[in-house]
Amino acid sequence: MNTSELFSLIPLMMVGGGILILIPVAAWKRNFQLAFAISTTTIIFDLAFIFIKGSCIKVDRASMLFKTDACALFFIGFFAFLALGVLLISYEYLKNFPGNKEEFLILILLGTLGGMVLAASNHFASFFLGLEILSVSLYGLIAYFGRQPHLEAGVKYLILASASSAFLLFGVALNYAQCGRLIFSGYGLPLIFVGLFFKLALVPFHLWTADVYEGAPAPVTAFIASISKGAVGVFLLRYIAQGSMNSQLVWITIAIVAIASMFVGNACALLQNNIKRILAYSSIAHIGYMMVIIYLFKNYGDVGGIRLSSIMFFYLIIYTLTNLGTFGIITAYSRWNQEMASLDDYRGLYWKQPVSAMFFTIFLFSLAGMPLTAGFVGKFLIFSAGIWSQCWWLLLILVVNSVVGLYYYLRIILTMSQEAEGRLVPLPVRLPVPLLISLGLMLSAILYLGIRPDSLLHWIQYFSQSLYSR
């Protein structure tokens, strides 16, 4: 490993360094403000480094384990951005927790590091390392506040995620048995898919989603929905681009999984009365939409010049941004000992808290794919891809699902516009500043990408070309 390779790993090492600073600081003197400042500064420095010095990183791989091409760098930066969002929304949530608060920040940073490692991994060893760093910190985060629902969700996630990791390891072992190395190849693919589909919550590996989303503390749910899903999604694309997928059976599996996810996600979301559960099922459906893009890989690599992988990346990015925003709103009204996730709690939000209700509405419209939001662009690109490949039946399924999905998003909006009818929900008078910053960042990103998606697409087009090179 030479200096330039070491230099290219600085974005990863900075986050690790931040954690190493946080641990003795937390051990020496418990000061939440200080710990919060250290963690946000770490993330901001990381972002700044990638922005300013990112172009100086010339090597495409740091070692056998890590890629540091434009794609990896972009997503390391993107996850840092998301982590910043999660940190900012969790400040107020944590502030009045009587126990140790600093470890929460450490775990968030650790999970982010795992996501970054996943995005950069080029080898099954680094992949598994990243995945486990991510998962293990998630176990801790979900059960962090130790209340009964948190513990229940934590244990559920622990058991199921370990089972999926076991499948995944088995797949990796098969790959190793066949190749003698741990590079990505098509061997053991079904088992590896099981592991990845579990993390992405695709049907039939989706059963944990609603319970864990509901039980986990709101900022942690935001973390799962943004960074965890995003990192595994990026890895999935990397794996598919490099592992050879020439078996017809794989494509059929992907199609079935995609269709089942869309239908199950949307159908189950119709019946929920808890916003977190609705969003959990909607996330299943959304990942189903992404799997449609992956299914279309089968025939074509691009859509009128836009690579399908770019479309997938774009959808992933806007989806994670929007989800972080929605869970940010839920976090704004939740505290560690009280989650405001029931649909009824949001009655009359328009009239009591017009600003955050507006935020929420725009996020929901983005999830529903209404124009002027980034969600529309995502849907637009998926439709384009479908038409380009002339998969009419798939398009029909997409349309049906989009319409069904509309119902439950509208239901939330409708509830917010109802009269509160004498309900006394203890709402904060003003949204705290860190939370507002985070929501503002997400909102402006979503609106900007809704109007000018070309800027980001241009970037993605640029870096997704490196995806196929080993």
Partner 1 sequence: MSGLLAFIVYFAAVLITAVGMIGISFFIGQRHQERSTGEAYESGICSVGTSLLRFKVNFYHVAILFVILDLESLFIFIWALTFREAGWTGFIVMLFYILVLLLVVVFFWREGIFKINKRRPLPLHG
Partner 2 sequence: MILFWIVIIPFIGAVLSWFSAAKHPLSARWIAIVALGIDLILALSLAKNMMGPPHPQSTASLWAAEISWDWIPQAGLHFHLAIDGLSMVLVLLTLILGIAAVVASWSEIKDRLGFFLFNLLAILSGILGVFLAMDLILFYFCWELMLIPMYFLIAIWGHENRRYAAMKFFIFTQAGSLFLLLAILGLYFLHGHFSGNYSFEYQDLLNTPNQWPYSLLFMLGFLIAFAVKLPIFPFHPWLPDAHTEAPTGGSIILAGLLLKTGAYGMLRFVLPFFPQDVQLMAPLIFVLAAIGIIYGAIMAFAQSDLKKLVAFSSVSHMGFVLLGIFAGNEIALNGALLQIVCHGISTGALFFLVGALQERLHTRDLNSMGGLWPVIPRLSALTLFFALASLGLPGLGNFLAEFLVLLGSYIVTPIITIIASIGLVYAAVYSLRIVQQAFHGKPKGTPMISDLYNREAIILGLLISIILFLGVYPQPVMNLVAPTLQQIRIKPVDATSPLEPAIIVKRDVLVIKDHS
Which residues of this protein are in contact with partner 2, per CB under 8 A?
304, 351, 365, 370-372, 379-380, 383-384, 387-388, 392, 395, 399, 402-403, 406-407, 410-411, 414, 417-418, 452-454
Q: Quote the least distance from Cβ 62 to partner 2, whole Å.
A: 34
Rounded Cα–Cα distance for residues 12 and 231 (Å): 14
Helices (H), 245-372: 248-270, 275-296, 308-332, 349-352, 354-368
Binding mask 93-122 vs partner 1 (x if CB under 8 A, - otherwise)? ----xxxx----------------------
By C-beta, is 149 or 434 nearer to partner 1? 149
**Is the bond leading into 453 cis (omega within 30 degrees of zero)?**
no
By C-beta, is 135 or 353 nearer to partner 2? 353
**Among the listed residues 74, 79, 91, 145, the single contact to partner 1 using CB under 8 A:** 145
Rounded Cα–Cα distance for residues 104 and 141 (Å): 7
Q: Quote the least distance from Cβ 14 to partner 1, whole Å.
A: 15
By C-beta, is 115 or 375 nearer to partner 2? 375
**Among the listed residues 33, 58, 146, 177, the single contact to partner 1 using CB under 8 A:** 146
By C-beta, is 69 or 102 nearer to partner 1? 102
Q: Quote the least distance from Cβ 210 to partner 1, whole Å.
A: 23
By C-beta, is 99 or 419 nearer to partner 2? 419
**Among the listed residues 5, 59, 147, 155, the single contact to partner 1 using CB under 8 A:** 147
Dig out the tokens for 135 from the structure.
Answer: 């998962």
Beta bridge partners of 302: 307
Q: Quote the least distance from Cβ 448 to partner 2, whole Å.
A: 13
393 binds partner 1 (CB under 8 A): no
Rounded Cα–Cα distance for residues 15 and 38 (Å): 11
Residue 99 binds what, of partner 2, partner 1, none (CB under 5 to 8 Å, by partner type)? partner 1
Residue 392 binds what, of partner 2, partner 1, none (CB under 5 to 8 Å, by partner type)? partner 2
By C-beta, is 82 or 269 nearer to partner 2? 269
148 binds partner 1 (CB under 8 A): yes
Annotate 175-242 with DSSP letters as a single string. HHHHHSS-S--STTHHHHHHHHHHHHT-TTS-HHHHHHHHHS-HHHHHHIIIIIHHHHHHHHHHHHHH
Residue 410 binds what, of partner 2, partner 1, none (CB under 5 to 8 Å, by partner type)? partner 2
Using alpha carbons, list the distances in angstroms from residue 176 to 185, 245, 250, 266, 388.
9, 17, 20, 38, 37
Rounded Cα–Cα distance for residues 181 and 25 (Å): 41
Residue 204 binds what, of partner 1, partner 2, none (CB under 5 to 8 Å, by partner type)? none
At 332, which amino acid appears? A
Dihedrals phi, psi of 307, to nearest 5 degrees: -65, 145
Asked if residues 79 and 223 have their Cβ atoms less than 8 Å apart, the reply is no
Asked if residues 86 and 226 have their Cβ atoms less than 8 Å apart, the reply is yes
The piece of 23-31, 213-221, 273-281, 363-371 that touches partner 1 (CB under 8 A) is 23-31
326 exposure class (CB count in 10 Å sphere: 0-12, 13-18, 19+): buried
Rounded Cα–Cα distance for residues 120 and 386 (Å): 29
Q: Quote the least distance from Cβ 145 to partner 1, whole Å.
A: 8
| Residues between 165 and 184 with contacts to partner 1, criterion CB under 8 A | none
24 binds partner 1 (CB under 8 A): yes
Residue 426 binds what, of partner 2, partner 1, none (CB under 5 to 8 Å, by partner type)? none
Residue 372 binds what, of partner 2, partner 1, none (CB under 5 to 8 Å, by partner type)? partner 2
Residue 388 binds what, of partner 2, partner 1, none (CB under 5 to 8 Å, by partner type)? partner 2
Beta bridge partners of 306: 303
By C-beta, is 100 or 469 nearer to partner 1? 100
Q: Quote the least distance from Cβ 26 to partner 1, whole Å.
A: 7
Using alpha carbons, list the distances in angstroms from residue 113 to 19, 33, 70, 84, 109.
9, 22, 18, 13, 6
CB count in 10 Å sphere of residue 264? 18
**Among the listed residues 3, 27, 248, 426, the single contact to partner 1 using CB under 8 A:** 27
Residue ranges in contact with partner 1 by CB under 8 A: 1, 20, 23-24, 26-28, 97-100, 145-148, 337
